[in-house]
Amino acid sequence: KGGNMLLDEVIYMEVRVFREFLNRYKMRASDAYHLFEENDIWGYIESCYELLHMNGDEAVLNDVQRILQRNGALP
């Protein structure tokens, strides 16, 4: 049961960060989803969740932005 609760929290963070990403970049959900997939943003959030959840969504979104910029996916 504890694992399911953690998984729910991770998914909830992914959804919040994804929505904020859409708002920040005025991007279509399908385009943003492909960016997240191609750059393993989902994996990043999942693997770093224990640290990320202490920083808040804005900090996570800034991390996502830096990853995408470093990978050349965002200007």
pLDDT tens column, 42-55: 999 999 999 898 99
Please give the model's pTM, rounded to 2 decimal places. 0.89
Q: Over 50: is that where the pLDDT of 1 sits?
A: no
- pLDDT given at position 2: 55
Residues 6 or more apart whose CB falls under 8 angstroms from that of 21 comprise 27, 32, 36, 61, 64
